[in-house]
Amino acid sequence: MPTVIEGIKFFTIPEIADTLRVTPQTVRNYIKVGRLRGQRIGRPVYVTETSLMEFLLPEEDKPQKKAEAKERR
């Protein structure tokens, strides 16, 4: 169950792992290589609902990829 702070949902690494049906270590690797954005709040690392939704988008629809494509033109 996510933690809600000021209307923003924060998920722990185990919650994300359960949702994606991968191991917690895989989620940590996604964060380490930059595929998924995580934030350390205190000791645990949290992932916002927005970051999770961006991660689930196809590569060509991700905001970062769109910005890079515009710069190339």
Q: What is the pTM (predicted TM-score) of this model?
A: 0.76
Mean pLDDT of 37-60: 91
Q: Which residues pair with 8 in a beta bridge?
A: 5
**Collapsing DSSP states into helix, strand and coil, what is residue 52?**
helix
Six token digits for residue 60: 């060509």
pLDDT of residue 72: 56
Eight-state DSSP code of residue 60:
G
The per-residue pLDDT for range 14-23, each reduced to its tens digit, is: 999 999 999 9
Domain boundaries, the chain: 3-72
- Does the structure show a pLDDT above 70 at 70? no
CATH number of the domain at 3-72, out of 3.30.450, 1.10.1660, 1.20.120, 1.10.730? 1.10.1660
The position carrying tokens 């191991």 is 23
Mean pLDDT of 44-73: 77
- Does the structure show a pLDDT above 60 at 12? yes
pLDDT of residue 30: 96
Contacts with 65 (C-beta within 8 Å, 6 or more apart), sequence order: 59
